[in-house]
Structure 1
Amino acid sequence: MAAIQTSNRFRPFGTSVFAEMTALAIEHQAVNLSQGFPDFDGPDFVRAAARQAIDEGHNQYAPMPGLPALREAVCAWWQEHTGLSADPVREVTIASGCTGGLAAAVLGLCNPGDEVIMFEPFYDAYRPDCAMAGAVPRHVTLRPSAGRFVYDRSELEALFNDRTRAVLLNTPHNPTGKVFTHDELSHIAELCIKHDCIAIADEVYERLTFDDNRPHISLATLPGMRDRTLTLSSLGKTFSLTGWKIGWAIGSAPLTSAIRAAHQFLIYCNPAPLQIGAAEALRHGAEYVGQLRRQYADARAFLSEALADVGFDVLTPEGTYFIMCEHERVSHRLGVQTDVELCRVLTRDYGVACIPPSAFYDNPEDGAGLVRFAFCKTRETLEQAVRRLGRIPR
């Protein structure tokens, strides 16, 4: 029998960095500040609604686009936060988390040879999504400058050509924590309109921003962008229910038809009871979201200060629940050089797992001087991590 090998399209990607670091954290009983999942449950009333739905018999296939009640709740949520209306029948699709929605979007909208522009560092699913579609990823790099990440406008402009199909924008941005400004979004929108391409907006951290002078702005709200933007988000980050994998995509009818064409053959539908719970979250979750943002703002301040005390150069995030740091001083004391080496040492020898951001770069060396910590944890968990990091030699 011939050797069984992974297909050529996936062979370059290997195992996800999240899976690798989580496994290492379990092996060494480390405090897991690597993968972005909370160590506490989402709202009681949301979980209760899902349990009740199971008990009441909502246990068969849901409609492929999603339960009508959830699509209507998504539209109401969308209008409340953006001022834009959407048709729940023709313009909303319930996906398998934002990640599932992204895969369906790229597969449904891109042909082989189409180019997709994205901002590096990027969520590690973006390139495999392009590989599945035969699309070509192009990127402009976000670089630290004066304490925040910025991109070079001329570099972005140079990427556009007659093969450009889409811009894939993530704001608030994982892993940098950047919240794109109105001026930056206007520049991106102008380029999309000029080159007649679509935008796929990954806005999964939409409600998790912390600075009043840097609010989240949805790309679809900019002039000329409503009908050319497919906006994706999910329940998991905003309501601390990442394992439910309930996401949604909002876009014009042609964009929605394209994503549904792929979605129906990827997962077909999401669990009906969880969709019922998700609808309750969107209808009645404003108080919870406000409380969560305050909790995360405190966690951001606490962990940022602690990391700085250890010797990391903290790049304070404007949104998400991740902190990026430059690690040169700490790595020098520990006798390592790269982010991968540092993350392994911190997990194995100090019991704190974090993520090497080089996995989010086309050229891993570009991210080798950075490290990412998640602060979506209880105060007790963060305090335990800080005590362990305090053992690093000064």
Structure 2
Amino acid sequence: MTISRLASIPGIGVDKMGNAADAADAAGGNAEMLRLENLDTDIAPPPDAVEATLAAVSRDNANSYLPFLGIHDLRRAAAARVSDTTGINYDPETQCIVSAGGLSGILNVLLATLEPGDEVIITDPAYAGLLNRIRLAGGVPKLVPLQVIDSGWRMDLDALQNAASNRTRAVLTMSPSMPSGIVHTPEEWQAIADIVQRCDAWLIHDAAMERILYTDAPVFHPARLDGMAERTITIGSVSKEYRMIGWRVGWIVGPKKIMNDIGLVSLTNVVCQVGIAMPGAAAALLSSNDGVAEATAEWKKRRDFILEELSDLPVVRPDGGWSLLIDTAALGISPDIASKRLFDQGRIAATPMVGWGSETNAGRYLRFVFANEPVDRLHDIRERLRVSWSV
């Protein structure tokens, strides 16, 4: 019997696609499989981060539970990073906690801010892992659909207004968001801030990809808006921008009034972070050669190549992030069937967005992650889709 907190939590699909691709690889003859199913990248982490991590492996103080809320160098670096982005001076000792990855940080924040039945506004589509963490924390996701306008994504602001209620406890944002790649406009951010203030709610902001932008717009942080500094909790990580997926290091930065509760959840949940990983994360944040701009330029080339190759198909342009979505329902193929055909006939592993929002919106799409495959391996992607889908 499934216990109640898991009853409404589906899987994320990525694990099944990844396992299938790994199994095909183990069986041999899988060199031509395009791995577009998972948020990995082939671009190396910052050299400073690797060097610091290797040095930490042999140090006693990196092989310790202490300090429970994260090493001081990393807390200072993370607080400084968020301070620079927001223009708010965050104290690293009272306003920053290190988490075992960004998603662990988000779960800890949700557990510290939600009562059972509280509602959390989030976009549709959204990462299934975020939706499921809301549910795991006892919350109820309230979906706000993203609309396709001029081949890109925009938030339905009327639906945003309608999603708010007296049960709204938080708005969970990500910009660029995953899987859509939407980058919120100033108008959208202001509408979100208005809802947060009207509902006396929290803005829980996942900033894991905030610098992976393909537009000319600068990074914008919602804590900069009037009245939002005391309502915004920021969660960051080294996984995406710094290409440090395996380190599992993130940070939570927010107002003093909530950080003690988040710290209590952190101590009760994961207890502490990966000791040998934190020095590398601190080095990445402090590095003068973090490689984010160069990596973003490379990811943009891959995005642009796919958009050009698939320009005759219903692909939605992402303005940031690592992935894009194709509306297979518009082609008369459900995304799960499209994924299976693509795997079997086109040798592409791609994840259907079932469970990543509503059936009528997110459930139309198949996701392509372009962060892990260089352009020279993507050269025949249009032909692979033709063979698989007859389009």
Q: TM-score, normalised by structure 2?
A: 0.91
Alpha-carbon offset, residue 119 of structure 1: 1.3
Which of 238, 245, 248 is matched with 1:245 structurally?
248
Q: Residue 230 of structure 2 corresponds to which residue in structure 1? A: 227
How high is the sequence identity, in percent, across the aligned residues? 26
Report the AA paired with residue 185 of structure 1.
W
Report the AA paired with residue 10 of structure 1.
L
Query: Does residue 186 of structure 1 match 2:194?
Result: no
* Local SS of the residue matching 1:71: helix
Report the AA paired with residue 18 of structure 2.
T
Q: Residue 13 of structure 1 corresponds to which residue in structure 2? A: 9
Query: Does residue 352 of structure 1 match 2:355?
Result: no
Alpha-carbon offset, residue 216 of structure 1: 3.0
The equivalences for 1:205-224 within 5 A come to: 205-212=209-216, 214-224=217-227
Q: Is contact 1:171-1:216 (8 Å) kept? A: no
* Local SS of the residue matching 1:239: coil
Query: Does residue 78 of structure 1 match 2:82?
Result: yes
Q: Residue 369 of structure 2 corresponds to which residue in structure 1? A: 374
Query: Does residue 342 of structure 1 match 2:342?
Result: no
> What CA deviation, in whole Å up to 9, does each residue of 1:24-53 have, x standing for no partner?
222334321011111343122211111101
> What CA deviation, in whole Å up to 9, does each residue of 1:127-179 have, x standing for no partner?
32222222222121112122222233222112222221111112111111110
* Local SS of the residue matching 1:27: helix
Which of 27, 47, 50 is matched with 2:50 structurally?
47
Mean Cα deviation higher: 23-32 or 291-300: 23-32
Q: Name the CA shift for 1:127/1:66 in 2 (closer, same or farther; >3 Å).
A: same
Q: Tell me the distance in 1 between the aligned counterparts of 2:102 and 2:160.
A: 25
> What CA deviation, in whole Å up to 9, does each residue of 1:310-360 have, x standing for no partner?
x4222111111111222357x55xxxx201110111112211111212321
Query: Does residue 383 of structure 1 match 2:386?
Result: no
Report the AA paired with residue 354 of structure 2.
S
* Local SS of the residue matching 1:55: coil
> What CA deviation, in whole Å up to 9, does each residue of 1:83-120 have, x standing for no partner?
22210001111112111011111111111122111111
Q: Is contact 2:125-2:361 (8 Å) kept? A: no
Gaps of 5+ in 2: 25-29
Q: Name the CA shift for 1:198/1:161 in 2 (closer, same or farther; >3 Å).
A: same
Report the AA paired with residue 364 of structure 2.
G
Q: Name the CA shift for 1:285/1:244 in 2 (closer, same or farther; >3 Å).
A: farther
Query: Does residue 94 of structure 1 match 2:95?
Result: no
Q: Is contact 1:40-1:378 (8 Å) kept? A: no
Gaps of 5+ in 1: none
* Local SS of the residue matching 1:272: coil
Report the AA paired with residue 230 of structure 2.
D
* Local SS of the residue matching 1:138: strand
Q: Is contact 2:342-2:385 (8 Å) kept? A: no
Q: Tell me the distance in 1 between the aligned counterparts of 2:21 and 2:166.
A: 45
> What CA deviation, in whole Å up to 9, does each residue of 1:224-268 have, x standing for no partner?
111111011110101111121111111011221222121111111
Q: Name the CA shift for 1:359/1:285 in 2 (closer, same or farther; >3 Å).
A: farther
Report the AA paired with residue 194 of structure 1.
R
Q: Is contact 2:35-2:350 (8 Å) kept? A: yes
Q: Tell me the distance in 1 between the aligned counterparts of 2:385 and 2:134.
A: 41
Q: Tell me the distance in 1 between the aligned counterparts of 2:351 and 2:90.
A: 37
Q: Is contact 1:358-1:366 (8 Å) kept? A: no
Query: Does residue 312 of structure 1 match 2:307?
Result: no
Q: Tell me the distance in 2 between the aligned counterparts of 1:380 and 1:320.
A: 17
Q: Tell me the distance in 2 between the aligned counterparts of 1:78 and 1:107.
A: 22
Q: Name the CA shift for 1:50/1:385 in 2 (closer, same or farther; >3 Å).
A: farther
Q: Residue 27 of structure 2 corresponds to which residue in structure 1? A: none
Q: Is contact 1:360-1:367 (8 Å) kept? A: yes
Q: Tell me the distance in 2 between the aligned counterparts of 1:83 and 1:236.
A: 24
Q: Tell me the distance in 2 between the aligned counterparts of 1:68 and 1:274.
A: 13
Report the AA paired with residue 362 of structure 2.
G
Q: Is contact 1:304-1:323 (8 Å) kept? A: no
Q: Tell me the distance in 1 between the aligned counterparts of 2:272 and 2:380.
A: 39
Q: Is contact 1:77-1:283 (8 Å) kept? A: no
Alpha-carbon offset, residue 286 of structure 1: 4.6
Which structure 1 residue ranges, 4+ long, deviate > 4 Å from structure 2? none
Aligned length: 381
Query: If each structure's helix is expressed as a fraction of its own residues, which one has the higher value?
Result: 1
* Local SS of the residue matching 2:291: helix
Q: Residue 134 of structure 2 corresponds to which residue in structure 1? A: 130
Q: Is contact 2:242-2:290 (8 Å) kept? A: no
Alpha-carbon offset, residue 387 of structure 1: 7.5
The equivalences for 1:234-313 within 5 A come to: 234-308=237-311, 311-313=312-314
Which of 184, 202, 205 is matched with 1:201 structurally?
205
Q: Tell me the distance in 2 between the aligned counterparts of 1:271 and 1:207.
A: 25
Q: Is contact 1:324-1:373 (8 Å) kept? A: yes
Cα RMSD (Å): 2.0
* Local SS of the residue matching 2:210: coil
Q: Is contact 1:62-1:271 (8 Å) kept? A: no
Q: Name the CA shift for 1:325/1:378 in 2 (closer, same or farther; >3 Å).
A: closer
Alpha-carbon offset, residue 274 of structure 1: 0.7
Q: Tell me the distance in 1 between the aligned counterparts of 2:18 and 2:376.
A: 16
Alpha-carbon offset, residue 379 of structure 1: 1.7
Q: Residue 24 of structure 1 corresponds to which residue in structure 2? A: 20
Q: Residue 325 of structure 2 corresponds to which residue in structure 1? A: 324
Q: Name the CA shift for 1:55/1:388 in 2 (closer, same or farther; >3 Å).
A: farther
Q: Tell me the distance in 2 between the aligned counterparts of 1:270 and 1:377.
A: 27
